[in-house]
Amino acid sequence: MRINDVLLKPIVTEKTIALYNREGVYTFKVALDATKNQIRQALKDTFDVEAGDVRTLVMPGKRRRIARTARFKTTPMFKKAVFKLKKGKLDFYTSE
């Protein structure tokens, strides 16, 4: 797996912003087959920061109803990485 394919995008929601403000924790959507070591290396190569504790979780897909019919579809599952930096800072959660 290439380093560019590991980190997909930062997750910016009210909950992740509150988590960042309270504990300094970042949340990213990552590739499903990415390991914790690959995530650490991708952060180091991409943003030149060092991650401490990296926690990952696979979010299951949700069942969604299709426009007032009796049919349903399932959204795809994805993997989420939650980490705190040893030193350095990323500017994803600033409102400026």
pLDDT digits (tens, 9 = 90+) for 21-61: 999 899 999 999 999 999 999 999 999 999 999 999 999 99
Q: Rounded mean pLDDT of 87-95?
A: 74
The fourth-level CATH superfamily of domain 3-87 is RRM (RNA recognition motif) domain (3.30.70.330)
* Per-domain boundaries in the chain: 3-87
Global pTM value: 0.85
d(CA 96, CA 93): 9
Amino acid, single-letter form, for residue 9: K
Averaged pLDDT for residues 56-84 = 94
